[in-house]
Structure 1
């Protein structure tokens, strides 16, 4: 009989064969007799019996094959831990590297810079995958942003605004402006592989509008679309309509656009302090404003449509989507579930 090669069996199959050997051994059969009956080699049968005699049934369970996890890696565990912390906590430029983002090449350079170990890009990719690191689109954040100011806003300034709003029965609105153009095509289009789809855009009839809007964490949205340039007079016009529509005092949180701080606007707000107060986000911190999600939502929907060929149609399309948001407050409330603005929910 041709002897079986135990190395070609799965661990489950090998375990069953070993149990068969032990059962025959317990029936007082000799080793050669077991070899003849099972088709296993003499060393395989002898080893199985010895394992059983030394440790009982648990001892005959086959050990996992292959290299022990981590064996043969170039980097030590301590080095891997240190590299992960560096990638998470610092940007390449902070480590005096020429890379803007953490690519595989950048991580490879960091490894060589820190430990004098040169790895192939593919090997670096395996390390990154093992650490659970994936390539992601980064959040854009201005160099001028102050982390201390952001922290002060999250931990002190906004909670104080929220507390005052509850005490005075005011409604907190988050405001921002955005531009609408008829040449903004977004999204993806299915097509056969290798045949890139063509999106027909408007050529010489580019149209542009401006819009100022606000949202609340209760799902309200208010907006005004503007034909001309956005200025202090247009802002005051919107504030006047916002106060009238709210029917209660409004706490409006804005970014630091110059027009928001203009003398004309500040004078108007001072004369209507019982109806509205303005507050300002930390500089260069758009990610803290929930209204930015409305702007992104609007532009995404507008970009899916056939481009409007006139300013009137562009305005109608924007008003149509904003009216939809007004009828579906749950969609506006969902903006506040983004992890970066959940503090305002």
Structure 2
């Protein structure tokens, strides 16, 4: 009979064979011929049984123990993970903008004098559950203390006033729409980069101002001319007429929002509308930014249009759909950066 190597069997198969060896041994039968195992395997099994009984013949897990042979200790791994989460490379005076494998390798060498190949660093990151992700852009000028003051003091105050006065809180922003905006990815065979046709010299551009509420309302206006104070006031007039109640509108610090024309217009209608302003360099705090991203993502999926009329039609179709699906707009407020406004 051809002998079988125990290395080619699963642990359960090996366990069953070992039990078979012991039973045959007890009956004084020629084991090697009947079991098909090699003599060393048979002898070792019998020795294990005679020393420790049935429990002793259960095979142990193959290979090195988990974590054995790693260059970093468990404590060192935890420390490196915490640094990556809490710090940016430049804060540690490293010549990296983001945490790449090379940056993590330099960090490990800097902290513990251990030099690891890039492949090993990738395995550590995967084991820790770290994945490559597109970072959120945040301006250097942003003041973290001011952000906390907004989140913990200013906005809760606006919210309380809105409840007392029966006002509706809207978040507003402007965005530009072009027929040359290409985003996203397209599947194609490996090594064959897909081609996206552009519209060349027929570039068309529109502007849009829109607001959202945490109740799922969205109000919008598409502008073909340049966006100025008069157009902004026109939109505000439509907004308060549609709301049917006082509007608290939170905006960024675009110059037109602070213009004399706008301030005078709002002052004459202070019983109908009030304007509030987000911190400078803090677009991530504005839920309406998610609507802009949603719109542009949808526009990029379509075949590029060649006329301004078709660009306007495509944008209007998507915005009309958002008006009719408030649950999608409510979903914008589930983003962790704007959940405070939900």
TM-score, shorter chain, exceeding 0.5? yes
Inter-partner Cα distance in structure 1 for 2:70 and 2:194? 45
Range moving further from structure 2, 1-10 or 156-165:
1-10
Aligned match of 2:16: 16
Alignment of 1:166-177 (within 5 A): 166-177=163-174
Aligned match of 1:252: 249
Deviation at 1:75, TM superposition (A): 1.8
Inter-partner Cα distance in structure 1 for 2:63 and 2:337? 44
Aligned match of 2:106: 109
Q: Do the aligned residues in 1 keep the contact of 2:240 with 2:273 (CA within 8 Å)?
A: yes
Inter-partner Cα distance in structure 1 for 2:277 and 2:252? 5
Deviation at 1:35, TM superposition (A): 4.3
Aligned match of 1:304: 301
Aligned match of 2:6: 6
Aligned match of 2:323: 326
Structure 1, residues 19-42: CA drift from partner, whole Å, max 9, x if none? 1233345xx434x74445434455
Deviation at 1:54, TM superposition (A): 4.4
Structure 2 residues without counterparts, runs of 5 or longer: none
**Residues 1:200 and 2:214 are matched in the alignment:** no
Range moving further from structure 2, 81-90 or 68-77:
68-77
Deviation at 1:246, TM superposition (A): 0.2
Inter-partner Cα distance in structure 2 for 1:174 and 1:91? 31
Aligned match of 1:73: 70
Inter-partner Cα distance in structure 2 for 1:209 and 1:312? 10
Structure 1, residues 58-98: CA drift from partner, whole Å, max 9, x if none? 32210001111111112222221111111111111111111
Q: 1:53 to 1:221 in 2, by over 3 A?
A: same
**Residues 1:137 and 2:134 are matched in the alignment:** yes
Q: Do the aligned residues in 1 keep the contact of 2:48 with 2:56 (CA within 8 Å)?
A: yes
Inter-partner Cα distance in structure 2 for 1:42 and 1:203? 78
TM-score normalised by length of structure 2: 0.91
Aligned match of 1:29: 27
Structure 2 SS opposite 1:334: helix
Aligned match of 2:279: 282
**Residues 1:215 and 2:178 are matched in the alignment:** no
Q: 1:235 to 1:54 in 2, by over 3 A?
A: same
**Residues 1:85 and 2:82 are matched in the alignment:** yes
TM-score normalised by length of structure 1: 0.91
Structure 1, residues 260-300: CA drift from partner, whole Å, max 9, x if none? 22233223323322211222222211111111111111112
Q: 1:117 to 1:233 in 2, by over 3 A?
A: same
When the two structures are aligned, how many residues end up with a matched partner? 342
Aligned match of 1:270: 267
Q: 1:241 to 1:2 in 2, by over 3 A?
A: closer
Deviation at 1:328, TM superposition (A): 1.9
Inter-partner Cα distance in structure 1 for 2:80 and 2:183? 37
Aligned match of 1:316: 313
Inter-partner Cα distance in structure 1 for 2:324 and 2:33? 82
Deviation at 1:318, TM superposition (A): 1.8
Structure 1 SS opposite 2:148: helix
Structure 1 residues without counterparts, runs of 5 or longer: none
Aligned match of 1:292: 289
Range moving further from structure 2, 14-23 or 152-161:
152-161
**Residues 1:122 and 2:119 are matched in the alignment:** yes
Deviation at 1:13, TM superposition (A): 1.3
Inter-partner Cα distance in structure 2 for 1:81 and 1:262? 52
Q: Do the aligned residues in 1 keep the contact of 2:24 with 2:30 (CA within 8 Å)?
A: no
